[in-house]
Chains A and B, each alone.
Chain A
Amino acid sequence: MYCQASGAAEAMANENFKTYVDQACRAAEEFANIYYETMDKRRRVLTKLYLDKATLVWNGNAVSGQAALAEFFEMLPSSDFQVTTFDCQPVHEQATLNHNTILVVTCGSVKFDGSKQQYFNQNFLLTAQTTNNNTVWKIASDCFRFQDCPN
């Protein structure tokens, strides 16, 4: 009896998790497309994708808050990003106090104006902002690094 009940509970938990994974993948896919296109082509509205108190660590340089982010992205040379790979995971609810959050990691290459093409890794924590049944994913944190340049 107990085994059956716990088996059913486990199956349900697994089914819920599967739903979260599916949701995370669809959100990550949409986000990766929008983020890099905005970065490359509409840089001045990029900070709209970030929460007010979002943090960025860019090659070891820490930036936080909308105003500082806007200043940082304005200063950054124009870019051409090619994302080849991304992965995502639902972040455990114990870490987020049940605030629906996903981890998105990306890698690819980027050519900044005036620099040679470089490979990079980047990761984001996205949190769901739901208003009127409409869910928008916003960046809570962003961490970017160049890979070592190939010789």
Chain B
Amino acid sequence: LLCDSFPPTTLPPTKGSYFGSEDLKALILRFLQQYYTVYDSGDRQGLLDAYHDGACCSLSIPFSLHNHSRSTLAEYFKNSRNVKKLKDPTMRFRLLKHTKLNVVAFLSELPKTQHDINSFIVDVCAQTNTLLSFTVNGVFKEVDGKCRDSVRAFTRVFIVVPAGNNGLCIVNDQLFIRKATNKEIRKAFVMPAPTPSSSPVPTLTA
């Protein structure tokens, strides 16, 4: 009888970005806009300024999560680091890019992209005086090569430390890339990209 009186459990509603504060929101959005402007510019060498000397970066492609992900994401597979499947310590070590030169060299080899900054959903996961960890979910398209115009979805975790001039310096970067769903493809790039000159801080899904 008592059990009958409990309300049925339901999932909490899914919300948009969680920044925690307006200051963090402005800081992170400015960082992301600067980061992806360089990332999408066709020359990722400029990202050297964004990474700490001892930064780490790795990429994972979800294993058999969607049909055919292996073939459509072939370009990414050779660097995919799935620790669940990958048991060899040497390979686990080799696929984790370490030091900023190796990280930027690795990112420079990935297909050229254009990110849809309006699609981004950002969550601030952790914040201390010395650390800020946030997740970016969104879509991008490839702008070159045989997968030109293919839309992909990604989830990326950045851990950053404070840097000079109210800036941020990346110490950890983990990137998931997956096939976009039909819904994500339909919604991608619907809003015009923000122009850096007129709106320095883009409006994201909040």
Q: Is A132 in the interface zone, CB < 8 Å from B? A: no
Q: Is the CB of B183 within 8 A of A77?
A: no
Name the CB-closest residue of A to B97.
A89
The listed residue (B20, B153, B176) touching A62 by CB distance below 8 A is B20
Q: Is the CB of A97 within 8 A of B125?
A: no
Complex interface: chain A residues within 8 A of B96 (CB): 21, 89
A-B contact count (CB 8 A): 183
Q: Is the CB of A85 within 8 A of B125?
A: no
Complex interface: chain B residues within 8 A of A148 (CB): 153, 180-181, 183-184
Complex interface: chain A residues within 8 A of B8 (CB): 114
Asked, given contacts A113-B9, A143-B123, whether A92 binds B182 with beta carbons under 8 Å apart, the answer is no
Complex interface: chain B residues within 8 A of A151 (CB): 181-183
Distance between Cα atoms of A115 and B126 in the complex (Å): 29
Q: Is B195 in the interface zone, CB < 8 Å from A? A: no
Q: Is the CB of A60 within 8 A of B56?
A: no
Which chain B residues (151-188) contact chain A, with CB distance < 8 Å? 153, 155, 157, 159-161, 171-172, 174, 176, 178, 180-184
Q: Is the CB of A77 within 8 A of B131?
A: no
Which chain A residues (81-131) contact chain B, with CB distance < 8 Å? 83-92, 94-97, 103, 105, 107-109, 112-115, 119, 121, 123, 125
Q: Is A75 in the interface zone, CB < 8 Å from B? A: yes
Show the binding face of B for A, using Cβ within 8 Å: 8-18, 20, 52, 54-56, 58, 60-66, 81-85, 89, 92-93, 96, 98, 121, 123-126, 130-131, 133, 135, 137, 153, 155, 157, 159-161, 171-172, 174, 176, 178, 180-184
List 9 other contacts, CB 8 Å, given A25-B92, A87-B82, A94-B171: A18-B93, A25-B89, A75-B9, A76-B12, A85-B61, A89-B96, A90-B56, A92-B55, A107-B155
Show the binding face of A for B, using Cβ within 8 Å: 17-18, 21-22, 25, 28-29, 32, 55, 57-62, 72, 75-77, 83-92, 94-97, 103, 105, 107-109, 112-115, 119, 121, 123, 125, 140-143, 145-151
Please name 19 pairs of A and B residues whose Cβ atoms are closer than 8 Å in the assembled complex, sorted by A. A17-B98, A29-B83, A60-B123, A75-B9, A76-B12, A85-B63, A86-B60, A87-B83, A94-B161, A97-B130, A105-B155, A107-B178, A114-B8, A121-B155, A123-B174, A145-B121, A145-B137, A147-B181, A149-B181
4 pairs of A and B residues whose beta carbons are closest in the complex: A60-B15, A92-B171, A141-B126, A143-B125
